[in-house]
Structure formats: C-alpha cells, structure tokens
C-alpha cells in the first residue's frame, strides 16, 4: 500500500516535471525593405536548430527553443558571398564564413535582443540592448500575456542619420550602424570597466535613450531595463517594426 502511494507520488511528481518542460516558439519576422540574416546565440546549453539564416523582406520564421533557453538574437545586414564562397555581412557579422553562425556571436555594433526563459519563479527576462552599438531596428513582443500581467514590448527604432553622432557612424553619410562610445574610444569611462570611476551616459547613449527609453543604452544603465513576463509566453522578434506596440496589452 505504502509502495503504491510512493509510486503514485513519484508519477505525479514526474508528470508535473515533464509537464513543466514545454518548449517555446520565437517568431522572427522581417518588416525591413531589405533582407536581414538573423543570428542566434545560446549562452547556456546547445545551439538552437538554426544559428543563422536568411529572412527576405516580409518573411517570418518560427524557431522552437527549449523551456530554459538563454541567449540572444540579432540581425545581420548587407550580407554577401564572395568568390571563394565565404559569407560575410557589413553589420552584425559573426565571422563564421557561413550563413549559420555555429556558436559564434555578433561583431559590434549590433542591436541585441537578449532572452532568458524561465529564469526565476517561472519568469522570463528579456531586453533589447544597444550597449554593443546599433545596426537594425528591432522589437520583442511577448504573445498573449495573461490578463493583468504587464508584459512589455521593448525595442529600439532610431534614425541613424539623426541619432548617431558623426564619430560613431559606420558608413559615413549613408550610415549602416552606430558604434557604442566604448567601441569607438575604448576607454574605461565609456566601457564601464573601472570600478572606481563613475560610468557615464554619453552623448551617444543619451540620444538613444531619448528615442528608445526602454532599451539598455550603456553598460551600467538602469537595471529596470530588464523586463519580465510569466506564464510561458511565446515571443515575436520584429526587425524594422512600423511602431513599438504600447507597453501593456
């Protein structure tokens, strides 16, 4: 009898454990007027089923991710294959030489979407960061959060011509990306690498902050730029969104 009860408890516990292990879908869509080559990078565990692919204008692709996945997404632009078959991109390149990044991450400047699923108490943590610079406009939108939950859509959409100081522009008068001040000047004051020196927002990060108040703009930016959402939502990551949807739905 006792054995039967133990077995029942064991089965119930195993069942709830298995039931808790649900994967999620992340939809990546390209609303830019040009092709984007998204990249994925896992910071824990194995790579996703794809680590890089082509998304033409108007296309979308669903990527299934394990329930406790952590990592980031970004977009590459102006990619091409050279005469010897080597693949590279003007922005966001992961230097793998192929469309798949295969465990390599992006080269700055790149706008990053960072996601950490089921991190604490069933909460996901996510953010959009321009700490490593900015190349493409992108937002992340949690899908169908439960009523009463504040699952905020965050992202950064700026006009590089307007918001990137000349000395940080990549590509001169036709900018394709904006470096971070840390990348451009490599000094501890911008890179926040000296613990005894107060790390500062720069002209660059202030410009971005004004237009993208909910994105991380420099390394020691307000920690509230990290958002949470519970109840295992799926997410949609959109390059070149026409608008950033209102905070809560």
Ligand X SMILES: *[C@@H]1O[C@H](CO)[C@@H](O)[C@H](O)[C@H]1NC(C)=O
| Closest residue by beta carbon to ligand X | 86
Whole-number minimum distance, CB 245 to ligand X, in Å? Answer: 19
Q: Mark residues 17-46: x for contact with ligand X by CB under 6 A, - for none.
A: -----xxxx---------------------
Cα 106 from Cα 93, distance rounded (Å):
5
Name which position in 196, 223, 243, 246 contacts ligand X (CB under 6 A).
Answer: 196
- Ordered DSSP codes for 125-193: EEEEE-TT-B-S-EEEEE-SPPTT-----EEE---HHHHS-GGGEESTTS-SEE--HHHHH--HHHHT-
Beta carbon nearer to ligand X, 191 or 226: 191
Cα 74 from Cα 39, distance rounded (Å):
5
Nearest CA-CA partner of 98 in 106, 111, 90, 88: 88
> Using only C-alpha atoms, what is the Rg of the chain?
20
Nearest CA-CA partner of 151 in 249, 235, 244, 10: 249
Cα 76 from Cα 93, distance rounded (Å):
6
Beta carbon nearer to ligand X, 26 or 225: 26
Structure tokens at 140: 């992340």
Name which position in 68, 234, 245, 249 contacts ligand X (CB under 6 A).
Answer: 234
Beta carbon nearer to ligand X, 154 or 164: 164
**Count of residues touching ligand X (by CB under 6 A):** 23
Q: Mark residues 174-193: x for contact with ligand X by CB under 6 A, - for none.
A: x-----------x-x-----
Beta carbon nearer to ligand X, 88 or 119: 88
Q: Interaction with ligand X in 123-162: which residues (CB under 6 A)?
A: 159-161
Interface residues with ligand X (CB under 6 A)?
Answer: 22-25, 62, 64, 82-84, 86, 88, 97, 159-161, 173-174, 186, 188, 194, 196-197, 234
């Amino acid at each position: 009898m006792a054995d039967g009860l133990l077995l029942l408890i064991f089965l119930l516990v195993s069942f709830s454990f298995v039931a808790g292990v649900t994967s999620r879908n992340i939809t990546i869509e390209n609303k830019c007027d040009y092709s984007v080559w998204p990249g994925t990078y896992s910071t824990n565990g194995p790579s996703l089923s794809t680590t890089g692919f082509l998304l033409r204008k108007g296309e979308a692709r669903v990527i299934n991710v394990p329930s406790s996945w952590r990592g980031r997404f970004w977009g590459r632009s102006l990619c091409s294959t050279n005469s010897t078959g080597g693949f590279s991109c003007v922005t966001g390149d992961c230097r793998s030489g192929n469309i798949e990044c295969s465990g390599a991450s992006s080269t700055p400047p790149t706008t990053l979407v960072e996601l950490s699923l089921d991190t604490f108490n069933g909460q996901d943590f996510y953010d959009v960061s321009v700490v490593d610079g900015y190349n493409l406009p992108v937002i992340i939108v949690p899908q169908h959060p439960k009523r009463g939950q504040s699952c905020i859509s965050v992202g950064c959409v700026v006009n590089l011509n307007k918001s990137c100081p000349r000395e940080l522009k990549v590509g001169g008068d036709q900018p394709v990306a904006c470096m971070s001040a840390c990348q451009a000047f490599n000094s501890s004051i911008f890179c926040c690498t000296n613990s005894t020196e107060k790390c500062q927002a720069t002209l660059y990060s202030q410009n971005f902050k004004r237009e993208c108040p909910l994105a991380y703009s420099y390394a020691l930016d307000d920690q509230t730029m990290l958002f949470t959402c519970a109840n295992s939502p799926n997410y949609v990551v959109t390059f070149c969104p026409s608008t950033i949807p209102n905070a809560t739905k």
